[in-house]
């Protein structure tokens, strides 16, 4: 006899990722290889116009010093040497100050800001009340009949971040699932447990000032998830996260 279907409550959860904005630092082998590639490229190359000009001017300078030419030739025209140009370019580069790769948020370890850890993925975690317990979770909301699971996840995102969030949801299919049974006290024939389906989305806009963040939230990397999530939940979430 076929077992009767055990009804599980369905939840849709959204894993919102802020993609990295700067490149990760190179590994040791990568740096060595990059240096080697530059050397080989230099060896295989030929002189460029600028380098030839530089060599010729050096030759002229040397000849002038050795043989004491008449200075009239030189004083007549104001010659800009290639060396001077190079120095000018160096100066200009030194004047430019790029934005720092390690931001203030990094230094203060301000986990609610999006400017932290610019070279890694950041995920949104919110504090939710599940059966009298306040837990840190990926934003989730219960599924209502008549909508697809993807729209449930979108609703979850909108509930915590407001309607103006621009996020690109990656497809209609869920990426992971977390199944749990309710504690025996609450469990009934019709209400065994819950299944949480996770969806992934990329945050498009970096500006969340318009978003109304209602409750406690955090942006954390994959390594820091362990500080907040429970072990079983964390295991399932780690399965669909790339770092």
Partner 1 sequence: LSCVSSSSWLPQAGPSRGSHWQTSLLAARASLPARAQPKKKKKVDVKKEQAQKDRMKKKIRKLEKAAPEMIPIEDFITPLKYSESNRVRNLPPLSFEETERRVLLMKKWCLFKQNQDKAEKAAIQALVEAQQEALKELRLESEELYQAAIRRDEGLFPFERDGPDYTPPLPGYDPPEGKCVDITKVYTQ
Using CA atoms, how far residue 83 sits from 31, 53, 59, 89, 225, in Å, is: 29, 10, 13, 10, 54
Give the footprint of partner 1 on residues 135-154 (CB under 8 A).
Answer: 148-150
Sign of CA dihedral 79, 84, 86, 92: negative
Using CA atoms, how far residue 200 sits from 14, 75, 175, 191, 233, in Å, is: 6, 70, 7, 27, 16
- Name which position in 2, 3, 45, 70 contacts partner 1 (CB under 8 A): 45
Q: Does 62 bind partner 1 (CB under 8 A)?
A: no
Q: Does 127 bind partner 1 (CB under 8 A)?
A: no
Is residue 221 a contact partner of residue 117, using CB atoms and an 8 Å limit?
yes
- Which residue number, 76 or 98, has a Cβ lying nearer to partner 1? 98
- Which residue number, 125 or 203, has a Cβ lying nearer to partner 1? 203
d(CA 97, CA 52): 31
Q: Does 223 bind partner 1 (CB under 8 A)?
A: no
Q: Does 26 bind partner 1 (CB under 8 A)?
A: no
147, two tokens = 């909508």
Q: Does 122 bind partner 1 (CB under 8 A)?
A: no
Interface ranges with partner 1 (CB under 8 A)? 5, 8, 10, 19-23, 27, 29-30, 32-33, 36, 42-43, 45-47, 52, 98-101, 103, 115, 118-119, 148-150, 168-177, 179, 195, 197-198, 202, 239-240, 242
């Amino acid at each position: 006899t076929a077992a009767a279907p055990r009804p599980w409550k369905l939840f849709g959860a959204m894993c919102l990722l802020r993609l990295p904005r700067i490149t990760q630092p190179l590994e040791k082998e990568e740096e060595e290889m990059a240096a080697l590639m530059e050397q080989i490229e230099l060896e295989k190359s030929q002189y460029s116009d600028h380098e030839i000009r530089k060599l010729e001017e050096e030759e002229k300078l040397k000849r002038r010093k050795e043989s004491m030419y008449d200075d009239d030739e030189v004083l007549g025209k104001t010659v800009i040497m290639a060396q001077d140009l190079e120095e000018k370019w160096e100066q200009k580069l030194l004047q430019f100050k790029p934005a720092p790769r390690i931001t203030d948020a990094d230094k203060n370890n301000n986990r609610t800001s999006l400017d932290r850890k610019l070279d890694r993925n950041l995920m949104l975690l919110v504090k939710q009340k599940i059966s009298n317990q306040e837990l840190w979770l990926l934003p989730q909301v219960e599924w209502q009949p008549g909508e697809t699971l993807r729209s449930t996840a979108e609703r979850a995102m909108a509930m915590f971040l407001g309607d103006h969030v621009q996020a690109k949801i990656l497809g209609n299919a869920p990426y992971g699932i977390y199944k749990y049974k309710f504690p025996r006290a609450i469990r009934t024939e019709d209400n065994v447990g819950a299944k949480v389906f996770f969806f992934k989305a990329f945050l498009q806009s970096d500006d969340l000032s318009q978003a109304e963040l209602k409750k406690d939230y955090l942006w954390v990397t994959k390594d820091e998830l362990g500080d907040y999530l429970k072990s079983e939940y964390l295991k399932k979430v780690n399965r669909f996260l790339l770092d």
